[in-house]
Each structure stands twice: as structure tokens, then as C-alpha cells.
Amino acid sequence: MVKICGIGAGYVGGPTMAVIALKCPSIEVAVVDISHSRISAWNSEKLPIYEPGLEEVVKQCRGKNLLFSTDVEKHIFEADIIFVSVNTPTKSSGLGAGKAADLTYWESAARMVADMSKSDKIIVEKSTVPVRTAEAIEKILTHNSSKGVKFQILSNPEFLSEGTAIQDLINPDRVLIGGREGPEGHEAVLKLKGIYDHWVPEDKIITTNLWSAELSKLADNAFLAQRISSINAMSALCEVTGAEISQLSDALSKNTKIGPKFLNASVGFGGSCFQKDILNLVYICESNGLIEVANYWKQVIKVNDYQKSRFVNRVVSSMFNTVSGKKIAVLGFAFKKDTSDTRKTPAIDVCKGLLGDNACLSIYDPRVSKDQIHKDLSMDSEVKHVSIVSDAYEATKDAHGICILTEWDEFKTLDYQRVFENMQKPAFVFDGRNILNVDKLTKIGFIVYSIGRPLHQWMNNIHQP
């Protein structure tokens, strides 16, 4: 029986290993993590992350061919193939601070693998890493391992999106496997391909060299983020020219050269990947003397920051240039719908911006915990102006304005007549995700701002008696 060990039981490692276990009943999958609390949550009724469909998969396989453990050493020792899905945050100090990927967790995982391995193993890079990381990992492994033990490193980047992780894993657009050239590298690639062959059609499994696979992941996220910054930049222009962003997106989406996805204007992109990976790309370009290329990608992030601060400015300026002491309901805190993840969510910057103008925030998100929001907004003097509540009606009661920051489906179907009646007047809605029916809300009496809608319509509403 082939044994797999997955190091790192987070947003990537947990769902990925669970789906491998589901699709390969003949393979034993052990997921290990240094965090005891994470592992005990994976073994409990309430999983540590929310992801549609994940609970069903875990319940089906746990105790059969899927186990979660903190005994990292034992499972590394027993495994034939080791997937590494540890976190690679942006470095916060030292060389490359603020841009380069911090590979501390990766390095410590690699050293552990070197120490514990008494037989040949395939090491699979799952987490996003800078291009040529495999070279560094190879050095760590070969210089620290027992005599005669051989390692093959493969890059098999994860392309799942949070919120649709299980579907993305079960039915991927493609699976990318990069390996070393030569017979041993080739054999390792085939072995990993053999796992995906259980459920992924052959034509969707692409094999490349190691460096193409590593760089493809950074490129993929950079291209997606760039599309959002491009459409968001257009949204600012729409507001001042009378063009409508939804009409623009629709027109662009019908051009088959462009295609329909990732053209939704928003308050800005968030998530653990886009900003981190672009900064990492910027750092790699700079390290290679490619300053113009680095500046090109930096601009994608600048436009994203601009989009968030533009939103805050719109809220403050339209509410008579001050939100001081005013209750603002924040609907949604996660970086997108159907996830409990708040890493780099635009809601953090928007909330901090509003708090900077002394607003009182009442925040509701269907899946994000109170503790998490407090942690994310950890600014002692301001936290007293923040209350976190358990439904949208409570959040909006007596509020002067509503900011929609995550596109949760339930926000589309609220009883807005009831919401309006319980708010201060004039009642403002700032739709940072363009999910609401502006005409319907305007009829009820709201003053509605949505991203990329001609500003003269909005001004007319503001100036109505």
C-alpha cells in the first residue's frame, strides 16, 4: 500500500489530502501539523476551516485511509511520497522584508524530512514557493540525510480557490507536475501522475520542468490579480465618465480573447495568495536586475490599495465628510464568500480606514468568528468602537450607512424594506461587491453607491430632498 504524508494541515494541505484520500481508497494518507489545536480540530466535529463539501469528504475518509496527527516524525518515516503544504508568508524583516517569501517553515519541514528518512522518498512542493526553491530544498535534503537515501523533488502547485476548493480538486482545470530531467526525475513524475490518474483525465495532467511548474503558480496568481486591478482601474474611470462597469465587463467578457472570468469590479482583491505572490515575483525580478518588470507588477498592488482607499473616501465624503460617531454596518468580513478566511481581506483596510475617521462599526459575517475579527483589527484604542454581531438586521439597526464588503449570497436577499425602516436617515448603502439591485434599493429610499456606476446618478440621489 502506498503511503502519503501531507505536512501542513491548512487551507491547502487539509482539503488536498482529504480529496486524495477520497479518490484513492488504496492509499493511506496521513496529514501532519506542528499545531496541536489544528490537528485536534481536524479530528473533531468542527473542522478548523470552512469549505463547502469538505466536512462530508473528511467524514467519509477519516478513520479509514485518512488520519490527522501531530506525530510528524513517524509519518515522514513511513511515507513514500511527502506533500509539503506549509505556509510561505511574506518576510517581515531582514533581506527582502515586505516582498520575499519567508521559507522558514519550508526549511524546517525539509530538515525534518532529512532527519527522519531512512528510505528513498519523493518530496512534492504544494505550497507556493519562489522559482528555484526546489534547488535549495535538494541541497538541504542531500546534505542532511542518512547515507544512501535519495530524494526526488517535484513541483505540483495547488490551483484551488477557497470556497470552491473541493470542486476545484475533484474537477481541476489542470494538474501541473514539474520534475528534474533524467530517468529518476521522470520516474518520480510518473509516480505522482499515477495518483492523479485515479480521477483526473490524462489530458488535464501537464508535465513540465521543475522551474516552469514553480513559476507557473506565481504567474497564474499574478495574471488573475492583474485582471482584477485592470477592471477596478476601469471602475474608477466609469464613475467619472458615465460608463457603467457592469456593461463594460459584459462587453469585455464576450471577447473570446479575454473571456468572462475575473472581471467583477470590487472593493479590491484579498486572500492569502495574490498580494504575497506578486510581491514575491517583484522581489525575484528585482534580484535578477529586472526593475521595469518588477515595477510593472508592483502597480497591480498599488491599484488594489487605491481601490480600497477610494472606497473609504467615498463613504466618508458622501456622508457629509465625516463618519465620526456614526454607526456603520459592515456586512461581510471574509476575503470572499463561502470561506471563513480573512487573510488580506479588503475588509481589514476598509474598517481601519473608517475607524481612522472615528466611525462606530457593527460587523457581521456569517462564517468569520468574533475572535478572528478582533485579531485582524487589533488596534486597542479603536476596538472599543467595534461591535461584532450575529445577524445583518442587528448590524444595520440604527446605522447611518451599510458597507457590503463580501458577496455572501444572504446579503442579496435581506428584507431591505425592514433594514431601511430601522436605519437613520438618509440611509446610505455602499456596495463594494456590486451584488445589490440599485433600482430596487433606490425605490425603497436608500442612497446607493456601487463600484463603477456613473457618479452623476449617485450625486442626483444624494441631492434629493
Catalytic (active-site) positions:
273
| Cβ 310 vs Cβ 232: under 8 Å | no
**Stretch 230-259: interaction string toward ligand UDX, x if CB under 6 A:** ---------------------------x--
- Is there binding between residue 158 and ligand UDX (CB under 6 A)? yes
**127 sits near ligand UDX (criterion: CB under 6 A):** no
- Give CA–CA dist 232/452, Å, rounded: 8
307 appears as a binding residue in the annotation: no
Q: Which does 264 bind (CB under 5 to 8 A by kind): ligand UDX, ligand ADP, none?
A: ligand UDX
Q: Quick one: which of 271, 366, 432, 452 contacts ligand UDX (CB under 6 A)?
A: 271
Residue 330 interface partner, choices ligand ADP, ligand UDX, none, CB cut-off 5-8 Å depending on type = none
Among 270, 401, 432, 452, binds ligand UDX (CB under 6 A): 270
Q: Which is nearer to ligand UDX, 160 or 360 (CB)?
A: 160
To the question of whether residue 89 is assigned a binding role by annotation, the answer is yes
C-alpha to C-alpha distance for 113 and 123, rounded to whole angstroms:
9
159 binds, among ligand UDX, ligand ADP, none (CB under 5 to 8 A by kind): ligand UDX
* Residue 128 assigned ligand-binding role: yes
Q: End-to-end alpha-carbon separation of the chain, Å?
A: 75
Site string for ligand UDX, 294-333 (x = CB under 6 A): ----------------------------------------
Q: How many residues bind ligand UDX (CB under 6 A)?
A: 21
Chain residues that interact with ligand ADP, rule: CB under 6 A = 7-13, 32-35, 38, 72, 85-87, 105, 108-109, 127, 272
Task: Using the minimum distance from each CB to ligand ADP, give the nearer residue, 39 or 395.
Answer: 39
Cell of 280: 514575491
Q: Tell whether 132 is in a known binding site.
A: no
2 annotated to a ligand binding site: no
**Rounded-to-integer distance, Cα 19 and Cα 25, Å:** 10
The one of ligand UDX, ligand ADP, none whose footprint includes residue 336, by CB under 5 to 8 A per kind, is: ligand UDX
Question: Does residue 266 belong to the site contacting ligand UDX (CB under 6 A)?
Answer: yes
Place of cell 498599488: 302
- Closer residue to ligand ADP in complex, CB, 103/316: 103
The binding site for ligand UDX (CB under 6 A) comprises 158-162, 220-221, 224, 228, 257, 262-264, 266, 269-271, 273-274, 335-336
